[in-house]
Structure 1
Amino acid sequence: MSMSQIEVTVLYFAAASTAVGLTEERVALQPSFHLNALGDHLISLHPNCGLDKVLQSSQWSVDAEMVEDVDQVVLKGGEEIAIICPVSGG
Structure 2
Amino acid sequence: MTHEQVKINVLYFAAAWTATGLSNELVPIPRNLRLSSLADLLVARHPKAAALRKILDGSKWSVDAEMVDDPEVVELKGGEEVAVICPVSGG
The two structures share one fold, judged by TM-score above 0.5: yes
Give the structure 2 partner of residue 38 of structure 1.
38
Contact 1:4 1:31 in 2 (8 A): no
Unaligned runs of 5+ in 2: none
Q: Provide the aligned length of Structure 1 versus Structure 2.
A: 89
SS in 1 for 2:62: strand
User: 1:88, CA displacement in angstroms?
Assistant: 1.6
TM-score by length of structure 2 reads 0.92
Give the structure 1 partner of residue 22 of structure 2.
22
Give the structure 2 partner of residue 58 of structure 1.
59
Instruction: State yes or no: 1:70 paired with 2:71.
Output: yes
TM-score by length of structure 1 reads 0.93
User: 1:53, CA displacement in angstroms?
Assistant: 1.0
Unaligned runs of 5+ in 1: none
Give a deviation string over 1:16-72, Cα, whole Å, max 9, x none. 000000000000011111111100000000014110010121000000000000010
The alignment yields a C-alpha RMSD, in angstroms, of 1.2
SS in 2 for 1:87: coil
Q: Distance in 2 between matches of 1:37 and 1:56?
A: 11
SS in 1 for 2:38: helix
Q: Distance in 2 between matches of 1:53 and 1:89?
A: 19
